């Protein structure tokens, strides 16, 4: 049993069909790992039945807290809200759409040695349409080359991070560019990384927020600004 407390937050946007299973899986897994934990769901302006589902879950799961956005703030905005709400020594987060198995938090936790601050999942096989797999692989390669990232799978949203690292970061983006910003700023803050292979599953319901023309354009516009900021203006920041 770990001596560290764990905050687990799940990102929910129109994930009414999957979020309940993830919350219960998180509860069972956290009970195995530590006596000190909390579960947070960031409901990012969902327009389906997610709000009603989460209200029902609160009566079943005592440690569940809900952070609600009246309107959708984007993936990065939801991630930043989750970090702001987390209070424990370690912070785990993943998506609420069921494409990752929350029970594999055990793998990340086992990899968190004394010389590791940031454990990132790495998809073994990506179960998405072929065009998304190709674009995702190209994106990861491009991000790693442009930002000199210390991990290979920057868009794998299955992470366990020491809160002491997060409190030293100033995250600014609201789009999908948050993943690159998080990893690069954590590296700049001295975080030590490890990647762990995890499973990736087909989407059970809903649609991706990212693979829409406007969202893609916003993300890459943010990434361009981020590149200028991190590689030119803040090159020597630590």
pTM confidence score? 0.92
Sheet strands (E) in the chain: 6-12, 37-44, 64-69, 90-95, 118-123, 158-162, 193-198
Distances (CA, A) of 155 to 65, 85, 86, 124: 26, 22, 21, 13
Distance CA 92, CA 107 (A): 12
212 versus 180: which is more confidently predicted?
180
If you average pLDDT over every residue of the chain, what do you get? 91
Q: Per-residue pLDDT tens for 56-84?
A: 999 999 999 999 999 999 999 999 999 99
The CATH number of domain 6-233 is 3.90.550.10: yes
Distance CA 160, CA 123 (A): 15
Distance CA 94, CA 108 (A): 12
Residues in the chain, overall count: 238
Asked whether residue 185 carries a pLDDT value surpassing 70, the answer given is: yes
Q: Are 73 and 40 in contact (CB under 8 A)?
A: no
- Residue-level pLDDT at 237: 46
Distance CA 37, CA 170 (A): 25
Instruction: Determine how many CB atoms are found less than 10 A away from the CB of residue 35.
Output: 10
């Amino acid at each position: 049993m770990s001596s560290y407390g764990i905050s687990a937050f799940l990102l929910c946007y129109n994930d009414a069909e999957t979020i309940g299973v993830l919350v219960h899986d998180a509860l069972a897994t956290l009970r195995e790992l530590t006596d000190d934990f909390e579960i947070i769901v960031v409901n990012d302006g969902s327009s389906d039945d997610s709000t009603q589902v989460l209200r029902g879950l609160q009566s079943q799961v005592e440690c569940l807290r809900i952070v609600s956005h009246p309107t959708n703030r984007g993936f990065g905005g939801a991630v930043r809200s989750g970090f702001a709400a987390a209070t424990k020594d370690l912070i785990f987060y993943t998506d609420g759409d069921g494409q990752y198995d929350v029970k594999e938090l055990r793998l990340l936790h086992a990899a968190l040695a004394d010389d590791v601050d940031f454990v990132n999942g790495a998809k073994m096989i990506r179960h998405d349409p072929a065009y998304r797999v190709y674009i995702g692989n190209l994106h990861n390669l491009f991000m790693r080359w442009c930002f000199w990232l210390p991990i290979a799978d920057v868009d794998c949203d299955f992470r366990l991070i020491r809160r002491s690292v997060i409190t030293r970061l100033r995250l600014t983006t609201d789009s999908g560019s948050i993943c690159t910003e998080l990893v690069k700023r954590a590296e700049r803050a001295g975080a030590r990384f490890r990647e762990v292979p995890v499973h990736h599953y087909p989407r059970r319901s809903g649609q991706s927020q990212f693979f829409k023309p406007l969202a893609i354009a916003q993300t890459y516009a943010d990434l361009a600004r981020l590149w200028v900021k991190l590689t030119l203006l803040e090159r020597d920041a630590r």
